[in-house]
Amino acid sequence: MREFTLTDMERLGAFDEAERTFQMTEEAFRTFYELTARPVRVYLGRMTGDDRLADDLLQETYYRFLRSNVAFENDDHRRRYLYRIATNLVHDHRRRPHVEVASAVLPEPRYPAFTEPNLAERAARRIDLQRALSHLKPRERSMLWLAYALGWSHEEIAASIGVKTGSLKPMLHRARQRLAGLLKTGGPS
């Protein structure tokens, strides 16, 4: 394999070049990044179940975003496009040789109620949720997260994961039912 390395001078030149190559200035990027990085990192973390991989994919997501040639209509469009890149990266990664997410021995799951849980109960619920999510298909995870963590509309979710809007509602319903079932039983039967 031929390895490419950059000298210090080339690295310095890379910054000037970046301003021309990337679709936004460094200052605009900083503002956009501060607004989006944490939610995207959490999304990637939940989609992959692997913090290291999520960190790598976060960098890749922003790199691809910066290199994109899309004319964005507004910030929402920009944000949706970013999630679309992240979703595709997760799916691409899944298509490579499969790595099973390790499931730890976790406390007895419980179905959520409409009462305010205490801290310990909340932590237990989050662990249950992470475990249940790890048993869902990547697309189901994406749909549920975009719908209930980010509050996206069906149209936005459909565009992001690449399905027809009409198909999304039953898919989301099935995904929600599966997740509820997994939360009740504590795992796949």
Partner 1 sequence: MVNAVLSNHWPHSCDERLVAHALECEVCCEVASIATLIHDDSERSRYEAHVPAAGQVWWRAAIRARLDSTQAATRPMTWLHGITGAAAIGVLLAAISAAWPMVMPMLDRGWAMAAGYFPSADAATAVANGVRLSAMLGLIAAAILLLAPLALYFALSDE
The token duo for 22 is 């990337």
CA distances from 169 to 22, 153, 158, 183 (A): 36, 10, 9, 21
Among 9, 48, 70, 148, binds partner 1 (CB under 8 A): 148
Nearest in space to 80 (alpha carbons), one of 91, 65, 92: 65
Instruction: Tell me how far, at minimum, the Cβ of 109 lies from partner 1, in Å.
Output: 11
Site for partner 1 in 7-46 (CB under 8 A): 10-11, 13-15, 17-18, 21-22, 26, 29-30, 33-34, 37-39, 41-42, 45-46
First to last CA, the chain: 46
Nearest in space to 101 (alpha carbons), one of 132, 140, 56: 132
The token duo for 163 is 């399905």
Site for partner 1 in 109-128 (CB under 8 A): 111-114, 116, 122, 125-126
Question: Residue 175 is which amino acid?
Answer: A
| HSE of 110, CA atoms in CB hemisphere, 13 A | 12
Instruction: Tell me how far, at minimum, the Cβ of 179 lies from partner 1, in Å.
Output: 6
Among 106, 169, 180, 188, binds partner 1 (CB under 8 A): 180
Instruction: Tell me how far, at minimum, the Cβ of 8 lies from partner 1, in Å.
Output: 11
CB 138 within 8 A of CB 91: yes
- Alpha-carbon distance of 165 to 157, in angstroms, equals 8
Give the three-state DSSP class for 68: coil
Residue 60-99 contact track with partner 1, rule CB under 8 A, x = bound:
--xx--xx--------------------------------
Instruction: Tell me how far, at minimum, the Cβ of 87 lies from partner 1, in Å.
Output: 16
Residues in contact with partner 1 by CB under 8 A are 1-2, 4, 6, 10-11, 13-15, 17-18, 21-22, 26, 29-30, 33-34, 37-39, 41-42, 45-46, 55, 58-59, 62-63, 66-67, 111-114, 116, 122, 125-126, 129-130, 144-145, 147-151, 176-177, 179-180, 183
